[in-house]
Structure 1
């Protein structure tokens, strides 16, 4: 196993768009199609891994890899439904033998001794792990950028952000290097990069998949793991396969959702954030067009309001700051020579903001927990809610850089990440899907559907419906 530079040097000759599709074993196949080829022995797992490794080298200009595995281990689940499909693990989850860097220069990580619980669940599907993807420090930012290192670039237009925190995973799936990649979401970190990179990004219900030990210790577990994919059926296949490894008995079984049900659904339309942040015209138009498509297909769409407490944004920010504060206290458990003073300015700003608000922690937790009541009220008479993923289109690199002074940066983040955190707080499932709209630079614009806890099948139903009506655009096609 090899770990490249944790902070790759900047590239000066990167094309505006970058993809790795070519006439090899991977072709333009999604994970389901590639796994079928492996089962029929038309492609071997070794061939798929070899060609994916070549594509990862071709995508080096994106700066998305944290570490690679020179000789990938054979799958431990050769009969898994995704057996032989090459993939990547996000660098905030332990994969035995590789360091877990968390995107931070504040410490030196040692190789992990064991796989994280969710990584074991991912491996149970039969995938072959080729390495790890970069993320912003501790996953706090909505872009995958660094104070003193090259950013991860969006393959649709490399001057723009791929989103965060699962930006490395999103960049490589969108570029075609692997069909699917591990991601996780604590405030939008699956859905935001999916929106930026034109992918399917489903954040499952809290408890749908294995939680990692750190998450279970928090007063409100915001983080849920999943994957990023280019097709709806890949996400559906992953969730079904993961469920055969472990199923939460407190949630309804999901099973394999293989297409739209034909059921007429009732969808609420939310154009502006319940926190008061307005949506930019391009994003508003993309969401409105999606609503029009649904109505044309026989679904009912009506405006919805979510009566959140006026303090939700401030409370979520306080909780976010508490996570940075706790990391600063416990960082020595992550690796050698932890120095909290080397945490990036965003992490330090969040921590400082929490210290000033620390005495309000009990009230903050109480209000955040009560937000589930307002959300449940909004869902009365509805199967799902349609909204933007983010309040404006994908920014250029630098706009959300941690090098931006903290007061300016946090204001920019809150003006961007205005829709996704509610699902993390409440624990509801939510999915980002590509819309038919693009920015003037050709970047994708995502739309988001959320459903009641345990109702991922509703989200997959809507996703299949929209994918069939307007097939999702693929980079390079």
Structure 2
């Protein structure tokens, strides 16, 4: 039975429980067996809650919609459960055996729905990298090829889901951290609209200036829709609330989206490298460089040919499905908005590090984190309040300009999820000899995901192909703010057309 269960998504496993064909105990025992067999090859799960999970399975209410379905929570952001280890990929929290003081609304909603938590997944230090290779816990490997990265910051979650340990796992996304690992591991990853899923009560809506969103990585579009139904909706004190959907998201899977106008881009526009930094950003940039002590190198913007081909094939499929598809791209994507992201992330990181220092009773310093994270923290500590407000204003201008493209008649945008194929392990790790080189190359890899964290729009990565070397390639679909319904309808169309890839070589 365990091998059969490994091939089922969360909805499929829950249906077996409701039909009396399998018990919650059996689901959990099977998942634990799979994890023990597979994880030594991948290092996706850093904390295991097996005995508690078995106890919870024995006392589970059978009427819960996902009774006994196993889940993993990410060791960062809104993945906190009271009393559990909560380390954000850092050595300083690991060494202090830091435990979460409370449970997030998100985690509680998963638990109330009947999901059973069997462990916590690996993340990069402070969630800052597009690869999951923290000094605290070591690298998570890609189940398609263990010499390659699994993505970040939800790399542990994506590797665990892709390999069949669990049908889905909690994930979060502040610049591509759901979509990037979903693309690298060949699974489905939706970043919902800003305010769709509460990040409280411990986390603040202001963390990362609202760029971060919470949901999950899954193996099916229907699981993504079902989870969104479970965990979406405002909670007391939320300051941003997305528009209420007209019906449950599960009803969008298989629903006719109608004839849509869809734009796509497979390459950077030819003038991508010509965009100048906005004039109001120049003083802020000068102070940023002064705090660093050097000017970081900016990688050349380009898209791997196989990633471009995946977009073109998806555009052709969408046309075959009856949509009007044309090359088009919101110009602001390449207009230098990334410069405004830097001070916001740096300030958020400095604030988190300072708060953890107060909690631990000692200052967190250079020796406590990797070289690049320390540099970013250092810059955040020295960022002026006026620069922070300049950055917020710049992102607001960018968001308004971006929204105009959808208002001008487009329903969806299709882009590469990533600008390159999954990197080898080590390729994006911080190198003290090359300050911020990995950070800048991370930003280049995520050039098509970061803009929609800025705007707060929903975006989904779908695994539509394999490279010549056998590595997954994702494409990204983006909708207007609040239109997850449209994304799910079209994603289900693509899935139903047989366009999504299958299982990796390492799978239960």
Asked if these proteins are the same fold (TM beyond 0.5), I'd say yes
Correspondence for 2:283: none
Give yes or no for the alignment of 1:85 onto 2:69: yes
Cα 1:87/1:215, change in 2 over 3 Å: same
Equivalent residues of 1:184, 1:190 under 8 A apart: yes
Cα deviations by residue, 1:146-197 (Å, 9 ceiling, x for unpaired): 2465201001100001000000000000000000000011110000000000
Give ranges in structure 1 of 5+ residues lacking alignment. 1-21
Give yes or no for the alignment of 1:268 onto 2:266: no
Equivalent residues of 2:311, 2:475 under 8 A apart: yes
Correspondence for 2:286: none
Cα deviation for residue 370 of structure 1 reads: 1.5
Give yes or no for the alignment of 1:259 onto 2:243: no
Cα deviation for residue 338 of structure 1 reads: 5.7
Cα deviation for residue 406 of structure 1 reads: 2.4
- Distance in 1, matches of 2:224 and 2:31, equals 19
Equivalent residues of 1:260, 1:460 under 8 A apart: no
Q: Which has the higher helix share?
A: 2
Structure-to-structure mapping, 1:291-440, within 5 angstroms: 291-308=315-332, 310-332=335-357, 335=360, 339-341=364-366, 342-354=368-380, 358=384, 360-379=387-406, 380-403=408-431, 405-435=434-464, 437-440=465-468
Which of 125, 147, 171 in structure 1 is aligned with 2:159?
171
Correspondence for 1:237: 226
Cα deviations by residue, 1:91-142 (Å, 9 ceiling, x for unpaired): 1121123110111112324333431111112223211110110100111111
Cα deviations by residue, 1:282-318 (Å, 9 ceiling, x for unpaired): 1111111110111111111112232327331221122
Which of 205, 223, 246 in structure 2 is aligned with 1:216?
205
Cα deviation for residue 263 of structure 1 reads: 1.3
TM-score computed with the length of structure 2 as normaliser = 0.84
- Distance in 2, matches of 1:254 and 1:348, equals 46
Give yes or no for the alignment of 1:50 onto 2:29: yes
- Distance in 1, matches of 2:473 and 2:142, equals 13
Cα 1:271/1:104, change in 2 over 3 Å: same
TM-score computed with the length of structure 1 as normaliser = 0.89
Cα deviation for residue 329 of structure 1 reads: 1.9
Correspondence for 2:294: none
Provide the secondary structure at the position in 2 that maps to 1:89: strand
Correspondence for 1:33: 12
Cα 1:451/1:286, change in 2 over 3 Å: same
Give yes or no for the alignment of 1:141 onto 2:125: no
Equivalent residues of 2:60, 2:68 under 8 A apart: no
Cα deviation for residue 414 of structure 1 reads: 2.2
- Distance in 2, matches of 1:149 and 1:245, equals 34
- Distance in 1, matches of 2:447 and 2:473, equals 15
Aligned CA RMSD, in angstroms, stands at 2.3
- Distance in 1, matches of 2:106 and 2:136, equals 30
- Distance in 2, matches of 1:334 and 1:283, equals 44
Provide the secondary structure at the position in 2 that maps to 1:339: coil
